[in-house]
Amino acid sequence: MVEDMSSESKSRRERPAKPALTRDGIVATAVELVRAEGLGRVTMRRLAHELDTGAASLYVYVRNTAELHAAVLDELLGVVDLEPVTAAGDWRERLEQVLTSYAGVLFEYPGLAQAALVARPAGEHYLDLLEGVLALLAEGGVPQAQAAWGVDILLHFATSSAAEHAPTDPRQGPPEADAGPLVRALRASENRPHLAAHGDDLLSGPGEARLSWGFRVLINGVLATPRPEGD
């Protein structure tokens, strides 16, 4: 009996020490889980299990799940292409390229797009994105006040488009399948002449084309629409 206890004690002493918890380490582990299994599987309990600690220990570094999701999104935004900011060419086209790159990250991780609607990131990558968008708006001659509000509209459109049109779980079918009831309702709207006249065109076009068109509408609108006086 004594020998067994001694053996167990020795075994514990020989175990490698757990790496100290850090915010960066927690976020990095969460990013790995998101890439492997999707955001829905990233809970504080699961993350604590991966880090071999208790869930309560994580709250010392991350206040809540929303803050964790925002930090994960900021880390993933590191792949957003900001090269168009300093490239040559029409500023509108370059701005659309940056916004499309941002939207691409969210379409790849749609759960994060939904999280970003309520918990925006505040890390270095997100700030770099804001800086790049504002720089291009300034290059295009957009007044500073309009740019300050416009950057919010542009990024919100990209975020909400990804959250709406991408499945929350990659194992689900294509999101277009969910539009079936709406398509049937539109086709049966003879008593609503405007709906009947537009018909299937209301939902026509590939998602990429609609996203690009939406960016162009918003960019032109931000440039042409003064902010209300006395705000």
The answer on pLDDT for 9 being more than 60 is: no
DSSP string over the chain: -HHHHHHHHHHHHHSPPPPPP-HHHHHHHHHHHHHHH-GGG--HHHHHHHTTS-HHHHTTT-SSHHHHHHHHHHHHGGGS--GGGTSSS-HHHHHHHHHHHHHHHHHHSHHHHHHHTTS---SHHHHHHHHHHHHHHHHTT--HHHHHHHHHHHHHHHHHHHHHHS-SSTTS--GGGGGHHHHHHHHT-TTSHHHHHHGGGGG-S-HHHHHHHHHHHHHHHHHH-PPPTT-
The answer on pLDDT for 221 being more than 90 is: yes
Interval 28-46: pLDDT, tens: 999 999 888 888 788 889 9
Q: State residue 118's pLDDT score.
A: 80
Q: State residue 5's pLDDT score.
A: 46
- The percent of residues above 70 in pLDDT, for the chain, comes to 85
The answer on pLDDT for 2 being more than 80 is: no
Is pLDDT larger for residue 116 or for residue 102? 102
What's the whole-number average pLDDT of the chain? 85
Count other C-beta atoms under 10 Å from residue 73's C-beta: 27
- Give domain limits for the chain: 1-62, 81-224
Minimum mean pLDDT among 11-20, 31-40, 131-140, 141-150: which range?
Answer: 11-20
Show Cβ contacts of residue 218 under 8 Å, excluding neighbours closer than 6 positions.
150, 153, 154, 157
Is pLDDT larger for residue 56 or for residue 168? 56
Fold type of domain 1-62? Arc Repressor Mutant, subunit A (1.10.10)
In the chain, at which residue ranges do the beta strands (DSSP E only) sit?
Answer: none
Q: What is the CATH number of domain 81-224?
A: 1.10.357.10
Interval 182-206: pLDDT, tens: 777 877 777 888 888 887 788 888 8
Mean pLDDT computed over 11-40: 79
The answer on pLDDT for 171 being more than 50 is: no
The answer on pLDDT for 173 being more than 80 is: no
- Phi-psi category of 89—alpha, beta or left, where left has phi over 0 and alpha has psi -120 to 50? left
Q: State residue 51's pLDDT score.
A: 92
d(CA 31, CA 49): 15
**Residue 207 pLDDT grade (very low, low, confident, very high; cuts 50, 70, 90):** confident
The answer on pLDDT for 134 being more than 60 is: yes
Q: State residue 194's pLDDT score.
A: 86
* Tokens, residue 137: 């708006």
